[in-house]
Amino acid sequence: MSYKKEFEKGLNNLWKYHRDNFLVILGGKRRRKMSRKGREKEIKNLSNLVIETMIRNKKIKEEFSQTTERIKSLRIPKGNLRNRFNKFLQRATKKIHDRKFIYIFWGNDKKCLYVGESKVGVGRLRGYRRSIIFKEARRTEIRVPVPKGLTKLECMAIHILKPKYNEIRGPKTKYARKCPICKSTKRVKKELRNVFAIKR
């Protein structure tokens, strides 16, 4: 089933509950009642479908690329965990001279493990010495953002790459460029809550 059809199906479910409210006003019998929790569950599902549709959009992928100024790649060496990390940190210190960037850990199955941001250079990477993320990682991708694009780049990367160990969240920095995916899903949620309002 396409995301569009799934969205229409979810929307129809909300309309069925909403329609019953009008039937009650006209003297009909209520067949179902929509709780706030039930409504939010349907809205969350619809929002996720919006995200799935957007991350496949060519324009979104282009915007993600345009928010990236430079890309660097660091292969994580083989060996025991301690030696692997020390060599990795040495390479990172030599190769990365930028203060602000996002880092992406990739596993050996080309699966994205984690996306994070650093505002203090390679110092942020030292925190992964004993992390399960580093244990599974085989390569690290460094993306340097355009000015004021750090949190936007991180947020878009999380949406598009679906990292194993990340929770999806929006950028919080007041003056950061807004993530277009978060912006659209926020608008969809607001519209749905207005249309399918629940009286207390």
Domains, the chain, ranges and CATH?
3-60+183-195 (no CATH), 68-176 (3.40.1440.10)
The two three-digit tokens of residue 115, written as one number: 């996306």
Nearest-angstrom CA–CA distance, 162 and 68:
18
Q: How far apart are CA 168 and CA 199, in angstroms?
A: 30
104: confidence class by pLDDT, cuts 50, 70, 90: very high
89 neighbors 82 (Cβ within 8 angstroms): no
Kindly state the average pLDDT of the residues 159-169: 87
pTM of the model: 0.84
DSSP secondary-structure letter at 171? -
The DSSP output letter for 125 is G
pLDDT score for 22? 65
Is a pLDDT exceeding 50 seen at residue 192?
yes
H helix or E strand, kind and range, residue 25: helix 3-25
Task: Please compute the mean of the pLDDT values over residues 4-18 and round it to a whole number.
Answer: 82
Report the chain's mean pLDDT, rounded to a whole number. 87
* Dihedral pair phi/psi, residue 166, rounded to 5°: -105, 150
Which residue did the predictor score with more confidence, 168 or 162? 162
User: What would the two tokens of residue 63 be?
Assistant: 């915007």
Residue 95, pLDDT > 70, answer yes
| Sheet-wide strand order for 112-118 | 68-75, 137-145, 101-107, 112-118
How many angstroms separate the CA atoms of 77 and 84, rounded?
5
Cβ–Cβ under 8 Å, residues 161 and 173: no
